[in-house]
Amino acid sequence: MTLALFHGKSALRPLWLATASLCALLASPALAQEPSESSPPAAPGTPDLQTPDVAPVVTDAPDSAAEDQIGFAADNLNYDSDTDVVVAEGNVAMNRDTISMRADKVTWNRKTGQVFAEGNVAIKNPEGDTAYGDKIELTDSLRDGVVENMLVVLDNGSRLAAVRGTRFDNGNIELENAAYTPCPVEDNEGCPKNPSWQVRAVKVLYDKAKNKVRYKGARIEIFGLPLIPLPGLSHPLNNEPSSGILVPEIRLDRSNGFEIAVPYYLRIAPDRDLTITPHIYTGAAPMIEGEARALTDIGSFRINGYATYGSLVPLTGEDPNRRKRFRGYLESAGKFQFDPRWSLTYSGRIATDRTFMRRYDISRDDRLRSTFEVERIGNQSYLSIAGWATQTLRRNDVQGQQPIALPVIDYRQRFDDPLFGGQFELQLNTLAIARTAGQDTQRAFAGARWDLRRLTGMGQEVTLTALVRGDVYHSDENLLTGIPGYRGKSGWQARGIAAVAADMRWPFVGEFLGGTQTLTPRIQFVATPPIENIDIPNEDSRAFDLEDSNLFAINRFNGYDRFEDGARVTYGLEWNFSRPGFNINSIVGQSYRLSNKPTLFPDGTGLTDRTSDIVGRTTVAYKDFLRFTHRYRLDKDSLAIRRNELDATIGSQSTYAVLGYSRLNRDILLLGEDLQDREEARVGGRVAVARNWSIFGSAIVDLTDQKDDPLSVADGFDPIRHRLGIAYDDECLSIALTWRRDYIDTGDARRGNSFSFRIAFRNLGF
């Protein structure tokens, strides 16, 4: 049996000393049963923590297995045959099985099997974990032993440090007066730094089989300050979730008083989990929250719910009884893919009353919509079977007037035109809408559309479109619809729709200011015979406003129940300029109706007269620093601004501002749903004040006054809500303290101040 020696950058003298020690080892019958030729020395180099390329030293038994072999390498090696002790010094590398050790000096008692290493000791296991220490006493299996001033660096970068550590043969580790942190201890320049947070404990137990750490007498130190005691803390050392208590959330508001929420995460299976969160308040009854998630072979779903038993303040006035009742909210969503073509998607939301979600700051939505949809997507076909229902949370809306659509069926089939080279699309659609205290409507139609796109020799892009459709409607209880223009005639009604359209775009491309500009005039002609729109109920084409997105649409209504008839020509101009990192895109257009037939569009929507208002949009983008969008509509006669929307994002990821302004000055006399005038300003942003600290805030202000909306009682400057906070974020810790003020009372969701504190310890297993 041979023993190869590694020598580092030492001179020739240490190599001869090591060779002499090797001769002493080979002369001992306790180290070899039969002679063999010596292996040549390895190439010069300092051994690292990888398994050293050394020759093995076997135990006394001639039939020892390969895993009993111990590899040894050092600058100097001495063997005392009387005591059977091997002493290696200088760049010592020792390995057994797949475990390797490095040290300045190693003393190995072959009789007792004890190995004593000192000086820059490091032991690495096959999983990539490395243990460091000043002195280590272990067995010759290199698996178990005692370490003084121990530091364990796990393969994911986490660190365990202790005054004293014991490593057992099964890979478990027990640390005394220990600390754990997954945070970096060096900055980007490689200089030492204190971790953002660490867990200190009287004792730390690492279970290798479960890859989990358990603590006794633990507390979390943030920036070196012992702040949070954590009795019974445990967590995994990988990215897999583990059952346990999550980080609490603390809030203070006027409606509920002081709140503390302590989530408990339960991992039921690798593909299923449950989170239960009790919410304790000083000014309200306790509330329980639960969320269940599951991943199946064909999809996933989630269920989330809140429940409490407390008093309810009505939307208006005070409840003289103030009796307690069950209050809650339930939502669920999921998607299942049965095969490459068939899928099911659903989403359900329901609340016990109109103010529950605002009272407990769950959501500020004023409508809760529940939907389901079964889809089949083929190469040239599409089928959708869907349904939806809406729960209103608005103050003055009647729930019985909210529609329930079941079913909504839409089928489409495309195929190529063998004659002209265009494309046909056939469509079948049916809809049934029911209301518990309102109008019921059923609709079915069949339609066909043909499109042909061609490029001329001069570069124009020409698109020809023709469509036909036949509709059948049935409705009853029509008088329960408040707006006469939406009712239609009760009973059975039918209509036919036909339209032809020609659309031409002619792009001109050239150089401009070191970049490329494209100027594209566009003109569209659409002709449709007269349509009996008023006799048909209007369920899905109510809210309308002329804008750049629907200016060139064949039907500028956003649904099927209304279709714009007559003949019209639409013209516009699009300009695009781009250079590296910078882009401007702008479009402006207008339409002219060739007939003077009274229109379907209410006054103020921009399409009342033969000549429409002027609409446009401009978008400016500069790298990732600036994005600005302006949408507008100008009165065709006075050029007064009827719609004015500005949205801008300026800054970097750490410091930025988000600005928004919208004004609808449409002067609509007959107010319909969502057609009232509004004016609003929005601002938000974040400012980095240090490397990891930032200040953030946002505000929404209602600028509407009675001149804009006669039904409004606003004075032209009414704050809706704003917030201000400070946050700390790094790769290991996230802290945020937020103050928010609401200015609107809605039932028992009171106006006033609220404070919230959130802290998240990243890389702690949740």
Highest average pLDDT, of 146-150, 466-470, 641-645, comes from 466-470
pLDDT tens, 98-153? 778 888 888 888 888 788 888 888 888 776 777 787 788 877 665 667 777 878 77
- Backbone torsions φ then ψ of 548, nearest 5 degrees: -65, -25
Mean predicted confidence (pLDDT) in 324-329: 92
Q: In this structure, what token pair is assigned to residue 154?
A: 């796990």
CA separation for the pair 319, 355 (Å, rounded)? 14
Q: In this structure, what token pair is assigned to residue 292?
A: 């269940």
pLDDT tens, 432-455? 999 999 999 999 999 999 999 999
Which single residue is written with the structure tokens 């020690």? 21
CA separation for the pair 12, 523 (Å, rounded)? 90
Q: How confident is the model at residue 64 (pLDDT cuts 50, 70, 90)?
A: very low
- Give the rounded distance of the alpha carbon of 368 from its chain centre: 22
pLDDT tens, 72-91? 788 888 888 888 888 888 88
Strand pairing partners for 267? 273
CATH class label, 71-240: mainly beta
Q: How confident is the model at residue 15 (pLDDT cuts 50, 70, 90)?
A: very low
- Concatenate the DSSP letters of all residues of 147-194 into one string: EEEEEEE-TTS-EEEEEEEEE-TTS-EEEEEEEEE-S-SB-TTS-B--
How many Å is the maximal CA-CA distance in the chain? 119
CA separation for the pair 302, 296 (Å, rounded)? 11
- Concatenate the DSSP letters of all residues of 26-48 into one string: HH-TTT-SS--PPPPPPPS----
- Backbone torsions φ then ψ of 571, nearest 5 degrees: -135, 150
Taking 90 as the threshold, does the pLDDT of residue 240 lie above it? Answer: no
CA distances from 501 to 454, 524, 564 (A): 14, 7, 13
Please name which of 638, 629, 632 lies closest in space to residue 664, comparing C-alpha atoms: 632
Taking 50 as the threshold, does the pLDDT of residue 93 lie above it? Answer: yes
Mean predicted confidence (pLDDT) in 701-707: 80
Q: Positive or negative CA dihedral for 250, 255, 256, 257? A: positive
pTM of the model: 0.74
Residue 96 is predicted with a pLDDT of: 74
Q: In this structure, what token pair is assigned to residue 713?
A: 């009682």
Q: Is the peptide bond before 407 cis (omega within 30 degrees of 0)?
A: yes
CA separation for the pair 78, 86 (Å, rounded)? 6
pLDDT tens, 522-558? 999 999 999 988 899 999 988 778 889 999 999 998 8
CA separation for the pair 695, 754 (Å, rounded)? 17
Taking 60 as the threshold, does the pLDDT of residue 8 lie above it? Answer: no
Please name which of 83, 128, 130, 74 lies closest in space to residue 106, comparing C-alpha atoms: 74
Q: Is 299 exposed, middle or buried (0-12, 13-18, 19+ CB in 10 A)?
A: middle
Three-class SS of residue 322?
A: coil
Task: Please give the angle made by the CA atoms of 549, 554 and 558, to the nearest 5 degrees.
Answer: 55
